[in-house]
C-alpha cells in the first residue's frame, strides 16, 4: 500500500525523462538519410526536400502514376510537379550547406529545362513521341532507372564504390543510363517522324547535363568508362536489385548524397 504511490511517481518521472531525452535527440541529430544534405531538420525543411524528391521522381515516372503528356489535360498533370520545383527549391536551399545549395541549384535548374520542350511547346510536336510509349515501354524505362538508383546506392555505400572512384562512378552510371534509354525497343509509332527514344534521351540529358559536365570530362562516354574503369560496373552489378516499384525510393536525395561526398 505505502509503496504503490512511490512506484507510480517514479515511473512517471522515468517516463517523462525518456520522452525528453528522445525529444532532445530528435531535435539535435539529423536523420541518417538527411545527414549532410540538411543543416536544418525542422519539419518545413524536411518536407521541402521530400517534395523536391517526389516531384523529380514524378517527372521520371518513378511515382507509379505513368502520366505522359499525350494530350493537353495529361500534359497539365505531367507539368504540374515541374512547375513547383522553383518554389520548393527556394525553401530547401535555406536548409542546407553552401556547397549542397549550389549543387542543388544546378541540379534543379537542369530538372526545369524540360519545361521548355514539353510544357511550353505545341502539344502536337510532343505527343507524337509520347504516343509510342506504352506500359511496356515505361516498364523498360523504370528498369533502367532502377539500375541507376542502385548504382547511386553503391556510390553512397561504405562497402560499395571507393571514395576515389565516386566521380568516375557517377559519370559512368549516367552514361550507361543515357545509352540504355536510346536503346529501348518501342512499338511502331503512328507518326513516322516520331523518335521517342531520342526525344526522351534529350530531355533526360538536358536535365542532368550541367551537373555531370562539371566533373565528367575524362569520362564522356560509356565506352571511355569501360576502357578506364571497367571494374566499376562489377561493383554496380553487385548492388542491383532488379526491376521493382520505385515509389518508396529516393532519387534527388540519393544523388545529393553522392554529390556531397565530392566535397569531403
Q: What is the pLDDT along the chain (264 residues), one digit of tens a residue?
A: 433 443 343 333 333 333 332 333 333 334 567 888 999 989 999 999 999 999 889 888 999 999 999 999 999 999 988 888 878 888 999 999 988 888 888 888 887 888 888 999 999 999 999 999 999 999 999 999 999 999 999 999 988 999 999 999 999 999 999 999 999 999 999 999 999 999 999 998 988 888 777 788 899 999 999 999 999 999 999 999 999 999 999 999 999 999 888 876
CB-side exposure of 54: number of CA atoms within 13 Å?
12
229 closest CA partner among 159, 142, 151, 149: 151
Residue 26 lies in a domain: no
Q: What is the pLDDT of residue 13?
A: 33
Q: Is residue 126 part of a domain?
A: yes
Task: Give the pLDDT of residue 222.
Answer: 95
Terminal-to-terminal C-alpha distance of the chain: 62
- Is 123 inside any structural domain? yes
Domain presence at residue 35: no
Residue 149 lies in a domain: yes
Q: Is 141 helix (H, G, I), strand (E, B) or coil?
A: helix
Residue in the structure block whose three cell numbers are 535548374: 109
Does residue 28 lie in a domain region?
no
Give the pLDDT confidence score for residue 89 in this predicted structure.
85
Q: How many domains does the chain have?
A: 1
Q: What is the pLDDT of residue 10?
A: 38
pLDDT at 30: 46
Give the per-residue pLDDT at 207: 85
pLDDT score recorded for residue 262? 80
Domain membership flag for residue 2: no
- Residue 137 is placed in which grid cell? 515501354
pTM for this prediction: 0.84
Cβ neighbours of residue 262 closer than 8 Å, sequence gap 6 or more: 166, 167, 215
Tell me, what's the pLDDT at 196?
A: 96
Q: Which domain holds residue 50?
A: 40-261
Q: Is position 70 within any domain?
A: yes
- Nearest-5° angle of CA 22, CA 26, CA 32? 125
Amino acid at each position: 500500500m505505502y509503496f504503490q504511490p512511490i512506484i507510480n511517481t517514479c515511473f512517471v518521472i522515468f517516463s517523462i525523462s525518456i520522452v525528453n531525452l528522445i525529444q532532445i535527440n530528435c531535435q539535435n541529430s539529423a536523420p541518417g538519410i538527411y545527414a549532410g544534405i540538411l543543416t536544418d531538420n525542422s519539419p518545413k525543411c524536411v518536407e521541402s526536400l521530400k517534395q523536391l524528391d517526389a516531384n523529380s521522381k514524378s517527372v521520371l515516372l518513378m511515382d507509379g502514376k505513368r502520366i505522359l503528356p499525350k494530350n493537353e489535360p495529361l500534359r497539365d498533370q505531367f507539368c504540374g510537379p515541374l512547375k513547383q520545383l522553383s518554389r520548393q527549391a527556394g525553401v530547401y536551399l535555406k536548409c542546407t550547406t553552401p556547397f549542397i545549395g549550389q549543387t542543388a541549384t544546378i541540379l534543379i535548374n537542369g530538372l526545369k529545362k524540360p519545361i521548355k520542350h514539353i510544357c511550353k511547346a505545341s502539344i502536337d510536336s510532343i505527343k507524337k513521341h509520347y504516343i509510342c510509349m506504352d506500359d511496356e515501354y515505361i516498364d523498360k524505362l523504370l528498369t533502367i532507372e532502377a539500375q541507376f538508383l542502385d548504382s547511386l546506392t553503391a556510390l553512397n555505400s561504405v562497402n560499395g564504390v571507393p571514395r576515389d572512384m565516386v566521380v568516375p562512378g557517377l559519370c559512368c552510371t549516367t552514361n550507361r543510363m543515357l545509352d540504355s534509354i536510346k536503346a529501348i525497343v518501342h512499338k511502331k509509332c503512328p507518326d513516322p517522324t516520331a523518335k521517342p527514344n531520342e526525344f526522351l534521351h534529350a530531355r533526360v540529358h538536358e536535365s542532368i547535363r550541367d551537373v555531370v559536365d562539371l566533373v565528367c570530362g575524362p569520362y564522356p562516354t560509356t565506352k571511355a568508362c569501360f576502357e578506364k574503369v571497367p571494374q566499376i560496373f562489377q561493383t554496380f552489378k553487385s548492388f542491383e536489385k532488379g526491376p521493382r516499384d520505385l515509389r518508396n525510393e529516393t532519387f534527388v536525395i540519393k544523388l545529393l548524397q553522392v554529390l556531397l561526398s565530392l566535397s569531403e
